[in-house]
């Protein structure tokens, strides 16, 4: 009986220590997965229960790294940013959703005297997409941010491909 109780407690403690924001490379089977010394990023598309499409970006931070949230009182050059350029097939709608929400004004920027909402925890961005074209298409976008404390501008290109009504994200071949 004691062995059973210990086994149940062991299973409970290991299952409750799983981080839902952690990106597991062997679990993520679609989209783009990039590993860096300061972060891992997974970029993909998801279909919601309402049959709408989202671009999903999962950022896993490592080694004390951080970056500026796109939700600041003014636009900063170093803050997280994503775009699709100008396309007629698909476009962003509404603002993206940042989970978890950043703490307000939790530091300053090296580039201005403005208080900055720094992202220091694993964060997921969901950007609603509006599909305009019913045919097959390919559009290109990018994600841009400065990763601190390394202080490097990261620009990550991606492509959203629609073929036979199925959507996927790929890394463009330059």
Residue 134 has pLDDT above 60, yes or no: yes
Residue-number span of the structural domain to which 72 is assigned:
23-170
- Rounded-to-integer distance, Cα 50 and Cα 35, Å: 32
Q: How many domains does the chain have?
A: 1
- Residue 30, CA distances (Å) to 57, 81, 109, 124 in order: 12, 22, 35, 16
For residue 115, the model assigns a pLDDT of 78
In a domain, 12, yes or no: no
pLDDT in tens, 50-63: 989 999 999 999 99
- What CATH number does the domain containing 82 carry? 2.60.40
For residue 104, the model assigns a pLDDT of 58
Who wins on pLDDT, 3 or 69? 69
Residue 28 has pLDDT above 80, yes or no: no
């Amino acid at each position: 009986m004691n062995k059973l109780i210990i086994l149940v407690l062991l299973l409970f403690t290991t299952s409750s220590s799983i981080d839902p924001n952690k990106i597991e490379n062997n679990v993520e089977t679609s989209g783009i997965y990039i590993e860096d010394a300061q972060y891992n990023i997974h970029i993909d598309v998801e279909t919601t229960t309402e049959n709408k499409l989202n671009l999903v970006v999962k950022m896993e931070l490592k080694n004390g790294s951080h970056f500026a949230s796109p939700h600041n009182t003014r636009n900063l050059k170093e803050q997280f940013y994503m775009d699709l350029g100008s396309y007629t097939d698909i476009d962003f709608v509404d603002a993206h959703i940042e989970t978890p929400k950043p703490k307000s004004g939790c530091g300053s920027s090296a580039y201005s005297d403005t208080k900055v909402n720094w992202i220091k925890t694993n964060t997921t961005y969901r950007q609603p997409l509006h599909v305009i074209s019913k045919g097959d298409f390919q559009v290109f976008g990018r994600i841009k941010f400065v990763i601190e404390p390394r202080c490097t501008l990261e620009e990550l290109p991606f492509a959203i491909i629609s073929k036979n009504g199925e959507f996927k994200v790929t890394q463009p071949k330059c």
